[in-house]
């Protein structure tokens, strides 16, 4: 096997996830939104989603996922020397959600920061964590993808509010110990059309004002049709380029864990990559799109289902607002 890029030395020592307790299925949602179970299911594949309560912040979801990941890795908070959190729904603009998690977990005063790459965020964070581990300045990294998307949903817009849910997933990375070996990464972005998926107000361009509130500018906006076309294209390209760079073909892939956004997107990606749909792990029907949390939640469920066998090759692939994309290869 020819490898023309640098190999990662990082391993995933443990994973964990957390979902809020409230289940909002399509029938329940249709009581407050002009929609139906048939309309949502046929267009997205989503049957339900989890919604955090008013007292649960993104950091609270993240802490519970992190605790489960630490247990899975057989480690304690004292073993962590770096925290990276991927989220587009931080508790507040600053300080970072990572800093809040560091305090809530009782982790020593280690480097902690957030990154924002939307639904690609967790894979971007894995990429960043791998690079920082390779410097040998860090030994054990907590990587979290966490979102409370219900806090930025426009519940009067049935084209978007039916798609998203809340949740968190986490992974512990290290160059030492035994675990799933990260092989390589392929990330990118195209910022030429940010209005495909964005939250217009609340930043320096459109600070909070009475006008921004009345225009509902603080809610998520999306051009679903264009996002669909872009998503499939960029995920296919990133996957093919990553596999080729490491001397693999699509036939070598045993499992694909894609970003959980839309069943039709997953089906189209399967067809374009010519990887059987049966190799794709999906829990979209239960949780909807949880943005940066979707892949680590799915990874945790796939591991618990015992379908991931030692020595098998896994492909994680995502797209998100930006437009961002990322693919990761792992040997379970």
Active site residues: 119, 259, 289
Tokens encoding 110: 């280690």
Helix (H, G, I), strand (E, B) or coil at 137: coil
In Å, how far are 111, 123, 140, 146, 163 from 80, measured between CA atoms? 10, 19, 5, 18, 34
In Å, how far are 56, 123, 147 from 63, measured between CA atoms? 11, 19, 12
What is d(CA 232, CA 180) in angstroms, rounded to the nearest whole number? Answer: 27
Q: Name the phi and psi angles at 165, rounded to 5.
A: -145, 175
Looking at the DSSP bridge assignments, the partners of residue 112 are 83
**Residue 294 contacts residue 260 (beta carbons within 8 Å):** yes
Instruction: Enumerate residues 6+ apart whose C-beta is below 8 A from 28.
Output: none
What is d(CA 32, CA 39) in angstroms, rounded to the nearest whole number? Answer: 15
Tokens encoding 313: 């090759």
Instruction: Enumerate residues 6+ apart whose C-beta is below 8 A from 38.
Output: none
């Amino acid at each position: 096997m020819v490898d023309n890029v640098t190999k990662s030395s990082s391993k995933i020592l443990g994973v964990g996830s957390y979902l809020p307790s409230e289940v909002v299925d399509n029938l329940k949602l249709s009581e407050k939104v002009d929609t139906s179970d048939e309309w949502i299911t046929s267009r997205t594949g989503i049957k339900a989603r989890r919604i955090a309560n008013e007292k649960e912040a993104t950091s609270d979801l993240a802490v519970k996922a992190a605790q489960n990941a630490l247990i899975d890795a057989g480690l304690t908070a004292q073993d962590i020397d770096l925290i990276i959190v991927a989220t587009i729904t931080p508790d507040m603009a600053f300080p970072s959600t990572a800093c809040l998690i560091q305090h809530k977990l009782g982790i020593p005063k280690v480097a902690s920061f957030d990154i924002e790459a939307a639904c690609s965020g967790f894979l971007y964070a894995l990429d960043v964590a791998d690079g920082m581990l390779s410097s040998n300045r860090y030994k054990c990294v907590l990587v979290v993808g966490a979102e409370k998307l219900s806090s930025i949903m426009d519940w009067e817009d049935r084209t978007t509010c039916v798609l998203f849910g809340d949740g968190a997933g986490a992974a512990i990375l290290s160059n030492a110990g035994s675990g799933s070996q990260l092989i390589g990464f392929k990330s990118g972005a195209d910022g030429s059309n940010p209005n495909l998926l964005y939250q217009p107000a609340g930043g320096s361009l459109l600070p909070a004002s009475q006008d921004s509130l009345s225009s509902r500018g603080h809610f998520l906006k999306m051009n679903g049709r264009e996002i669909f076309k872009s998503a499939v294209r960029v995920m296919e390209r990133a996957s093919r380029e990553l596999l080729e760079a490491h001397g693999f073909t699509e036939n070598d892939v045993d499992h694909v864990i894609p970003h959980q956004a839309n069943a039709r997107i997953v089906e189209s990606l399967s067809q374009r990559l010519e990887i059987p749909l049966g190799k794709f792990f999906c829990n979209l029907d239960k949780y909807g799109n949880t943005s940066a949390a979707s892949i680590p939640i799915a990874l945790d469920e796939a591991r618990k289902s015992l379908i991931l066998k030692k020595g098998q090759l896994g492909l994680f692939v995502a797209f998100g607002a930006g437009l961002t994309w990322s693919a990761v290869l792992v040997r379970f």
